[in-house]
Chains A and B, each alone.
Chain A
């Protein structure tokens, strides 16, 4: 019985040791691919999959229970992932050639999901804080997406389909929300939030549209819709609890909106 008990303790120790170790699974198929994985801490998990030629990936995980799943299928793609803290999760998927995906997470329980399909796309995701959530999806060529979340419990969702589009979402504070989607070519959308509980949404369908949004304060709401070509919407909300609704349908509309104060409402419909 003593031997059995000793064996059970030894087995438990081995299991605990195994459970607390870091895990890495890397698969590369093709020529000239490079993978660098650095893990320090406990129970970090990395899954890296590269198929094609001349792809590179650098994964750094420091802390515990961080999870990374990264995939490049094609040639000359690059992935860079840095995770510091605990229970952060990143997923980067790239299909095509010359794509670049970057993820930087520092904090607790942040989630980042990024997907690129096409060629020469760039996506950057930065999360510093706790409980942030972000997704970025782009389909086409030459697109650029970036998200920065500095604070807690922010949410950002970006999606674009077409070529040469760019989207930027910046959140500095807590519990902010940004959603941006673009369909077409050469569209540009940027949304910056400084404060808490702000809500920003931008939709662009067509070509050569520009939307810019700045929210400084708390509890502001701003939605910008653009359907057509060559439209511009630029709105600032400085204060608290302001509401803005901008709709542009057709071509060549320009809107500049500036709000400084609290509880103001601005509604614009432009069409031709």
Chain B
């Protein structure tokens, strides 16, 4: 049993040492790896979300099976995404900047394969379709 405790303690040290070396750079690498592995796995439903910065808000309500990837790199960004029907949809929204606002609601096909890249500050995007 002493060995079990020792093993557990070593595991703790490994986990904590790994946790203390987390930086924004390797977080981005982790995010990229996660996306790649997830796409390769082709899951029934997946959300991959990243926030780097301060005071960002991100909200996803996903009723259908879909793949959704959202990233916010900057400050004071807001992103909502709703999909309130059973239609399969894919969405990828990448934001680099601050003060950006995106709100997308659901429909039969509005978000199917959608990809939005924002590299700016203080932009507003609304997308609604019923």
Binds A, one of B12-20, B89-97, B107-115, B119-127: B12-20
Check: A115 CB closer than 8 A to any chain B CB.
no
Which of A104, A216, A263, A267 contacts B58 (CB under 8 A)? A267
Given A252-B43, A253-B46, A258-B31, also A264-B54 (CB < 8 A): yes
Q: Mark A249-263, 1 if CB is under 8 A from B, else 0.
A: 011111111111111
Docked-complex contact B38 and A194, CB < 8 angstroms: no
What chain B residues lie within 8 Å of A146 (beta carbons)?
A: 8
CB nearest to A146 among chain B residues: B8
| A170 close to chain B: CB less than 8 A | yes
Q: Digit string of B2-13 for contact with A (CB within 8 Å is 1, else 0)?
A: 101100110010
Within the complex, the shortest CB–CB distance from A38 to chain B, in Å, comes to 14
Alpha-carbon distance A124/B19, docked complex (angstroms): 22
Given known contacts A78-B1, A261-B56, A265-B56, A172 and B16 CB-to-CB distance under 8 angstroms: yes
Contact indicator B19/A214 (Cβ below 8 Å):
yes
B117 at the interface (CB under 8 A from A): no
Q: Is the interface of B mostly helix, strand, loop or mixed?
A: mixed
Q: A30 to B113: give the CA distance in the assembly, Å.
A: 68
Chain B residues whose CB sits within 8 angstroms of the CB of A22 once the complex forms: none
If A256-B47, A256-B48 touch, whether A265 touches B20 (CB-CB below 8 Å) is: no
Q: Which residue of B lies closest to A245 (CB)?
A: B59
Are the C-beta atoms of B63 and A272 separated by less than 8 Å?
yes
Interface residues in B, total, Cβ within 8 A: 43
Chain B residue at minimal CB-CB distance from A270:
B62
A261 touches B19 (CB 8 A): no
B24 on interface, CB distance cutoff 8 Å: yes
Query: Is A261's CB under 8 angstroms from B8's CB?
Result: no
> Is B27 within 8 A of A252, CB to CB?
no
On chain B, the residues within 8 Å of A100 by CB distance are: 1
Given contacts A170-B12, A261-B56, A267-B59, contact A255 B51 (CB under 8 A): no
When the two chains form their complex, are residues A255 and B4 in contact, meaning their CB atoms are under 8 A apart? no
Known: A146-B8, A192-B19. A254 touches B38 (CB 8 A): yes
For the complex, what is the distance from the CA of A259 to the CA of B51, rounded to whole Å? 5
Quote the shortest CB–CB distance from B50 to chain A (angstroms).
5
Chain B 17-40 residues near chain A, CB threshold 8 A: 19-20, 22, 24, 27, 30-31, 34, 38
Binding site for A on B (CB under 8 A): 1-2, 4-5, 8-9, 12, 15-16, 19-20, 22, 24, 27, 30-31, 34, 38, 43-65, 75, 86
